[in-house]
Amino acid sequence: MRELDYEKLASKITDWIRDYVISAGANGVILGLSGGIDSATTAVLSVKALGKENVISMGLPIETLPQDLEDGKFVADHLGIKFVICDLTSAYKDFLKVLPSGTDSNQLAMANVKPRLRMATLYFMAQSMGYLVIGTGNRTELAIGYFTKYGDLGIIDEFLH
């Protein structure tokens, strides 16, 4: 296993976030915050890079366990950042209702709609406020293909290419 200098790596990432936001002329970043390790780490690095006043987090439940929303709020409160809740469950159910008969039996397709709705919401909010969406995925997910294209992959793809 390779040795990593975590402080140096964190500094490099925060510098990159700060420089990217400044070069884009954005007001800050917005992210989906579930309270899991990936989104919590992204939130911490974003706050270090931009300050808590320039980071907005969102809880975007879709038929989600209440604990997930509580975890996200806990992290946001700990960091002192805004936490906006936008329950997308009804949008998800309405979307499935308008699909042609029989297409709602594909469980994978139905599951992939959720991260795409979340990403569309994040981009809408970001554009409305002059912010950038910052992704919360990781290289392992990309390497094994555990992501939804144009959903939770929305930002990773831009960063790696």
Amino acid at 87: D
Check pLDDT > 90 for residue 49.
yes
Can you name the CATH fold of 29-160? Rossmann fold (3.40.50)
Does an H or E element contain 58, and which? strand 55-59
What local confidence, expressed as pLDDT, does residue 155 receive?
A: 52
The reply to whether 157 belongs to the active site is no
Q: Which of 141, 152, 157, 158 is catalytic?
A: 141
**Quick one: average pLDDT of 5-34?**
94
The reply to whether 70 belongs to the active site is no
What local confidence, expressed as pLDDT, does residue 32 receive?
A: 93
Amino acid at 151: G
Q: How far is it, in rounded angstroms, from Cα 69 to Cα 33?
A: 8
DSSP state letters, 59-109: E--SS--HHHHHHHHHHHHHHT-EEEE---HHHHHHHHHTSPTTGGG-HHH
Binned at pLDDT 50, 70 and 90, residue 135 comes out as confident
Cα 83–Cα 87–Cα 88 angle in degrees, nearest 5: 130
Check pLDDT > 50 for residue 161.
no
The average confidence (pLDDT) of the chain is: 86
Q: Which of 38, 68, 77, 158 is catalytic?
A: 38
Percentage with pLDDT > 70 across the chain: 83
